[in-house]
Amino acid sequence: MSKKLKYFFRTLKSKKREKTFGPHAKGIVYDSKNGYMALPISDITIGKNLGFKGHWNFTEIQRLLEQTNPDDVIYFIGTHVGTLVVPIAKKVKTVVGFEANENTFWFLKANLCLNKITNALVFNKAVGDGAKKVTFYQNTVNTGGSKIKPIKDSILYNYDSPKQVEVDMVALDPFIKEQSLTKPTGIIMDIEGAEFFALKGMQDTLSKTRFLYIEFVPHHLQNVSNTTVEDFLKKITPHFSKAVCLKDNTNFNISGQEKQLLEHLKLLEKNNVSDDILFTK
């Protein structure tokens, strides 16, 4: 089946769900290992996993729980609806979240209430390299794939004809000062390709952060932020001494193996393979 045909049927299935539940249905609530999770009816990616598997990325959550402690202040750059935020918030002192998509932000707040989370402070803002307005894609079939408008667009990002809206972007370093926020001890970042821009705006914060957990998706680097693996790493490696690529648990000591880390990520890029990377001091 061609990629275009595959995306066509995914979109068709999503629209069928919306039609089945009616125009006044807001979402579906799932009882999952992540907690009680409300998601838009149109979402057949995370919603399907929550409904049939009973969890979303629970292995990732367990890894993050091992990395955190009860005194931590954890920042989520890209919260989506809270599938990671809720279980982490139950362990740590405070979570601070940023979600650019206004539609998703509504579900995030609902899920914090459903799970009685009282130690979360959330902002309906994109995180990037400055305070400005940016164009944002509100995807429906996979709401977790919503993103700032790519520099190089692709059917990967626009197959469900996402609504384009203007959202507020902030740079994390000045925003923390302006809002008098407690600085993070750990950062968890997944913003569908805008990570490079966010990293540029949080260099002071990263220097004082114990760990950074970040998504690495080659086509996002190439298309959404139009940057290189080298430039991506240059915004991270000065602040950390170790890195673990979690798919195959490959460890690197950055001080002596930065070249090997770069080569590893370039190989992933060549094969268009995504991974999550944990950077630590």
Give the domain CATH number at 123.
3.40.50.150
Q: In what order do the strands lie in the sheet with 94-98?
A: 120-123, 94-98, 73-77, 186-189, 211-216, 275-280, 242-245, 250-253
Average pLDDT over residues 162-175: 98
C-alpha 57, offset from chain centre:
12
DSSP 8-class letter at 182: P
pLDDT confidence band for 1 (50 / 70 / 90): low
Q: Is residue 46 part of a domain?
A: no
Position of tokens 């068709």?
12
Q: Please, which residues bridge with residue 73 across strands? A: 94
Cβ 87 vs Cβ 12: under 8 Å: no
Residue 103 has pLDDT above 70, yes or no: yes
Q: Is residue 153 part of a domain?
A: yes
- Model pTM? 0.95
Q: Is residue 256 part of a domain?
A: yes
Say what the pLDDT of residue 111 is.
Answer: 98
Say what the pLDDT of residue 10 is.
Answer: 82
Cβ 179 vs Cβ 136: under 8 Å: no
Q: How many independent structural domains does the chain possess? A: 1
Q: How far apart are CA 213 and CA 190, in angstroms?
A: 9
**Count of beta carbons in the 10 Å neighbourhood of residue 266:** 14
Q: Is residue 82 part of a domain?
A: yes
pLDDT confidence band for 163 (50 / 70 / 90): very high
Say what the pLDDT of residue 141 is.
Answer: 95
Residue 255 has pLDDT above 80, yes or no: yes
pLDDT confidence band for 132 (50 / 70 / 90): very high
Q: How far apart are CA 208 and CA 137, in angstroms?
A: 32
Say what the pLDDT of residue 167 is.
Answer: 98
Q: Is residue 27 part of a domain?
A: no
Q: Please, which residues bridge with residue 167 across strands? A: 134
**Domain span holding position 69:** 58-280
Average pLDDT over residues 40-49: 93
C-alpha 167, offset from chain centre:
16
Q: Is residue 257 part of a domain?
A: yes
Q: Is residue 44 part of a domain?
A: no
Say what the pLDDT of residue 34 is.
Answer: 96
Residue 96, classed as helix, strand or coil, is: strand
Residue 2 has pLDDT above 80, yes or no: no
pLDDT confidence band for 8 (50 / 70 / 90): confident
Q: Is residue 276 part of a domain?
A: yes
